A and B are shown apart, each in its own frame.
Chain A
Amino acid sequence: MSSANSPTARTTPLTDWHAAHGGRMVDFSGWRMPVQYTSIRDEHQATRTAIGLFDISHMGRLAVTGPDAAAFVDRLVTRRVTDLAPGRIRYGLVCNEAGGVLDDVLVYGAPQPAGVWGDHAALGVVVNAGNRDKLVAWFNDQRHGFDVQVDDRTLATAMIAVQGPHAIALIDALSDGAASKLKNYCGAAAQFDGHAVYLSRTGYTGEDGVEILCPADAALAIWVRLVADAAPHGGVPVGLGARDTLRLEAAMPLYGHELDQHINPFEAGLGFGVTLAPERELVGKEALDAAKANPARIRIGLTLEGRRVAREGTPVLSDGQRVGVVTSGTFSPTLQCPIALALIDPAAAGGTLSLDLRGTALPAQAAALPFYRRSD
């Protein structure tokens, strides 16, 4: 019931705003972040029905420059990026030699403007906050033989997600229609309320929306404008608590839960994000080839009856035997039942499963993923 408040936690350009506006502040991956402002349930519902505004400045933003940038990143990310056109965005994994996942990332083709991505960014890479130092070190370790530089733009910039059914209209009104011009997984430089920003039609909630990357010193003005203009549409600031319930309903992986160095992409259900073409010189390719042929575990979705929630670490049972473990669980505000993602033995999939909830075996039903899919 307490949270450790480290004096060394980093702050985003919006941390003071969060604390002054009811944000319950916690340390997350070394950053001082709001877990909620009013209630996880209310913030979740606002995002599903109207607009949620998220400070995601803690995410790492790396610009890769130099003539070998594309070949270099192509070797490190499980999706092909050598053919990534300017303005296109691709999801992929960064794996070690053993095929274990170091991070899941978005790669941006030739992102602009320079005020956000620096001069001459051939590719942008957005990484998880908790993996940023590890990824910067990994990229630098792998630079040998490539003419590239890795520029960590995280502290010079900020990032705000605007998500929900009314998000695009809100951004359009402030950017001369820039948001609706973008297709999903595309990005472009834009003028947003007088600020030069990068808009990306991506997100982590299962809703339509954008992520705005901007210079750190423009973040507060942009945020305050968004909060003011979203309010009449039912839009609210949303903390990390609802960010987690939203992504879990959308069955999007969270590093440290569905993904880590001991889980490969195929086990995590992310085979779509791995291109193992023969000509690719991807780090971990041999291990990934083997993992694809024979995954030791598979990711499944489960729902429970009643109200008790299966949290991370809850054992999954089949015929009384442990066959896996819950990686994330919550009470789904949309489905109004407990939901969970789990990694289990493939042999047990399709059978009758139960969860060992603190000593009580509760029946669990396999659920199609995602738990929630927006209708549009």
Chain B
Amino acid sequence: MNPDNLRYTETHEWVNLSDDAQPVATVGLSAFALDALTDLVHLELPEVGRVVEAGENACEVESVKAVSEVYSPVAGEVTDINEALLDQLETMTDLPQDEVWLFRVRVDGGGLDGLMDAEAYKKRCADEAH
């Protein structure tokens, strides 16, 4: 997975779209988000088969300090979840960004409108850090 092919949301998810006729979107947390999260205690992944809207809260990442919602950047059906992460909560924030994928959605119409490329997202994070 080439990071340059990823698209990013304002809320720090990344999404990677497959080349299939009906593309599958893999959704994860950006390196910026992972750096901000520490002391994770729980991950509430969506159920496979659940249909989500674009922008819908699909997943919760819980740390000692706070709970963060993860929004699906695309609409469609959840086809796969990364349950292996549940055994890696303590080290999850140290993993490379592309290993921290949370769920996959078979995209039902709509594309990746309004998402940022790596360059624009980098600028966005730099602004937020100030």
> Hey, which bits of chain A sit against chain B, CB under 8 A?
1-2, 5, 35-36, 39-41, 241, 245, 306-309, 311, 330-331, 333, 358
Residue of A nearest to B11 (CB): A1
Interchain CB contact (< 8 A) of A40 among B38, B42, B44: B38
B108 within 8 A of A: no
B36 within 8 A of A: yes
Interchain CB contact (< 8 A) of B67 among A35, A309, A333: A309
B88 within 8 A of A: no
Chain B residues with Cβ below 8 Å from A358 are 60
Interchain CB contact (< 8 A) of A331 among B37, B41, B130: B41
Interface string of B58-70 (1 = CB under 8 A from A): 0010111111100
Residue of B nearest to A1 (CB): B36
Q: Is the CB of B67 within 8 A of A245?
A: no
Residue of A nearest to B42 (CB): A307
When A2-B128, A308-B44 are in contact, do A40 and B39 touch as well, CB less than 8 Å?
yes
Chain A residues with Cβ below 8 Å from B33 are 1
Q: Is the CB of A309 within 8 A of B41?
A: yes
When A1-B12, A1-B33 are in contact, do A40 and B41 touch as well, CB less than 8 Å?
no
Chain B residues with Cβ below 8 Å from A306 are 42
B75 to chain A, nearest CB (A): 21
Q: Is the CB of B64 within 8 A of A245?
A: yes
**B94-130: which have CB < 8 Å to A?**
128, 130
Chain A residues with Cβ below 8 Å from B38 are 36, 39-40
Chain B residues with Cβ below 8 Å from A331 are 41-42, 62, 64
**B28-69: which have CB < 8 Å to A?**
33, 36-39, 41-42, 44, 60, 62-68
**B8-34: which have CB < 8 Å to A?**
11-12, 33
6 nearest A-B residue pairs (beta carbon): A307-B42, A331-B41, A40-B39, A40-B64, A41-B39, A331-B64
Q: Roughly how many angstroms separate A5 CA and B127 CA in the complex, as a whole number?
A: 12
Chain A residues with Cβ below 8 Å from B12 are 1
- A307-B41, A308-B42, A308-B62 given; 17 more Cβ-contact pairs under 8 Å: A1-B11, A1-B37, A35-B65, A36-B38, A39-B38, A40-B38, A40-B63, A40-B64, A241-B65, A245-B64, A306-B42, A307-B42, A308-B44, A309-B41, A309-B67, A331-B62, A331-B64
B27 to chain A, nearest CB (A): 16
When A1-B36, A307-B42 are in contact, do A41 and B128 touch as well, CB less than 8 Å?
no
Chain A residues with Cβ below 8 Å from B62 are 307-309, 331
| Listed A/B pairs (24) with beta-carbon separation below 8 Å | A1-B12, A1-B33, A1-B36, A1-B37, A1-B68, A5-B130, A40-B63, A40-B65, A41-B39, A41-B64, A241-B39, A241-B64, A241-B65, A307-B41, A307-B62, A308-B42, A308-B44, A308-B62, A309-B41, A309-B64, A309-B67, A330-B65, A333-B64, A358-B60
Residue of A nearest to B61 (CB): A1
Chain A residues with Cβ below 8 Å from B68 are 1
